[in-house]
């Protein structure tokens, strides 16, 4: 027999290899990853639920507070005019189980109309200016100067609304009534321009409030449009120019198609601010609880009325005035939600099936 050539080391039974040193820390590391994942899920869930919960809580609180006013005012509140809390010095009376001051009558139609009118003026004036400013910054200015102008534009968005409102009532409004409104009032007798005819007032009123809101929404729309324009591929623009298109043709044919949905979304954001702006409008509108007689006439909005009338409302011993302001806040909230949901639906519908991705899904 031949001796086994294998060495004793080879013939020794294989011993279990020791566990790698890294396994001692694998479990703690795995546990830490699981905990981090769970924390991320919890945090993201809270982030998604809290805004919705806050909105629901807000609606419920306003609805509970406004219910006596809703029962007392009925549908007249939405279509009627006149915001009269009644006789503060007389005895309280009861109507339909609701205690109120004698002669109390509330109609919010002038407030609703003023809110819609000022927001409409802000969009008509502000959005084209904002888009034009964004195009000028991106396409015409040198990069260094564009950064400075863009920063100044963004700083405009950070100015408190009370400062803008004070500037509007002390400086901007008087300049408009002295130098601009008289020119508009004497434009040619064309049906479209007849809305500018009439007494121009002293600078407080519908048009002044709308222009102040336009100034306030310009930074939002301009900054968004600027960022969208920067995302348009240079090769796309160069291809259009190589085909012989002018600068305007390149913008409307190529760039506008890339950014149109995003600009519409930015306009929705500006509309949301215009609907809810309070102090600036309260200072510039004239705070008249009636509809404007012409485009220069004094008026008010729902948000401005709540701010200016809250102190007086607290003097109503029956509490109905405060509850009516809560009803007005509920109407403003419903208007904002409906308009924003409708506008976003139109944005999504216009973007559906589009091959260009910029701004889709806003």
pLDDT of residue 1: 43
The pair of structure tokens assigned to 203 is 């600078």
In a domain, 266, yes or no: yes
Is residue 321 domain-resident? Answer: yes
Residue 284 domain boundaries:
105-351
What pLDDT sits at residue 77? 92
Note the Cα 325 to chain centre separation in Å: 22
Would you tell me how many other CB atoms lie within 10 Å of the CB of residue 72?
Answer: 22
Residue 309 falls within a domain, yes or no? yes
Mean pLDDT for back-to-back runs of 10 residues, the chain (362 residues): 47 50 54 81 87 89 92 91 86 87 92 94 94 88 85 85 93 93 87 85 92 93 88 81 80 83 86 89 91 92 93 89 94 89 74 47 38
**Residue 229 included in any domain:** yes
DSSP state for residue 206 in the 8-state scheme = H
CATH code of the domain in which 332 resides: 1.10.3720.10
Decide if 46 is inside a domain.
no
Confidence at residue 163, expressed as pLDDT on a 0 to 100 scale:
94
Name the domain count of the chain.
1
pLDDT for res 2: 47
Give the CA distances from residue 320 to residues 59, 62, 128, 311, 334, in Å, rounded to whole numbers and listed in that order: 19, 14, 43, 13, 21
Closest C-alpha to 259, from 342, 341, 354: 354
In sequence order, what DSSP letters do the residues of 219-288 get, joined into one string? HHHHHHHHHHHHTS-HHHHHHHHHTT--HHHHIIIIIHHHHHHHHHHHHHHHHHHHHH--HHHHHHSB--
Which residues make Cβ contacts (< 8 Å) with residue 346, sequence separation at least 6?
Answer: 264
Sign of CA dihedral 31, 35, 37, 38: positive
- Judge whether 240 lies within some domain: yes
Q: Tell me whether residue 168 is in a domain.
A: yes
Given this model, what pLDDT does residue 352 score?
60
pLDDT given for residue 361 in this prediction: 38
């Amino acid at each position: 027999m031949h001796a086994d050539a294998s060495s004793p080391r080879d013939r020794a039974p294989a011993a279990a290899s020791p566990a790698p040193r890294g396994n001692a820390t694998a479990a703690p590391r795995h546990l830490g990853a699981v905990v981090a994942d769970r924390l991320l899920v919890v945090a993201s869930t809270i982030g998604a639920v809290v805004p919705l919960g806050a909105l629901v809580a807000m609606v419920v609180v306003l609805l509970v507070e406004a219910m006596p006013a809703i029962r007392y005012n009925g549908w007249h509140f939405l279509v009627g005019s006149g915001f009269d809390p009644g006789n503060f010095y007389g005895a309280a009376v009861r109507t339909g189980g609701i205690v109120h001051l004698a002669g109390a009558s509330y109609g919010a139609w002038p407030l609703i109309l003023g809110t819609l009118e000022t927001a409409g003026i802000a969009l008509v004036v502000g959005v084209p200016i904002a888009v034009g400013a964004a195009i000028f910054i991106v396409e015409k200015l040198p990069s260094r100067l564009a950064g400075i102008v863009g920063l100044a534009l963004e700083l405009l968005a950070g100015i408190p609304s009370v400062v803008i409102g004070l500037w509007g009532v002390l400086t901007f409004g008087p300049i408009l009534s002295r130098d601009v409104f008289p020119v508009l009032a004497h434009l040619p007798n064309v049906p479209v321009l007849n809305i500018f005819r009439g007494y121009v007032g002293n600078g407080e009123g519908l048009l002044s409030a709308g222009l102040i809101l336009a100034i306030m929404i310009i930074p939002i729309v301009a900054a968004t449009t600027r960022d969208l324009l920067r995302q348009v591929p240079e090769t796309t623009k160069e291809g259009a120019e190589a085909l012989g298109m002018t600068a305007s043709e390149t913008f409307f044919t190529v760039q506008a198609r890339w950014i149109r949905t995003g600009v519409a979304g930015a306009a929705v954001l500006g509309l949301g601010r215009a609907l809810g702006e309070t102090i600036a409008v309260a200072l510039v509108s004239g705070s008249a609880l009636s509809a404007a007689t012409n485009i220069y006439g004094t008026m008010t909005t729902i948000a401005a009325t709540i701010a200016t009338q809250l102190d007086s409302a607290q003097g109503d011993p029956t509490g109905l005035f405060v509850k009516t302001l809560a009803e007005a806040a509920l109407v403003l909230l419903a208007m904002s939600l409906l308009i924003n949901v409708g506008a976003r639906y139109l944005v999504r519908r216009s973007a559906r099936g589009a091959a260009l991705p910029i701004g889709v899904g806003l």
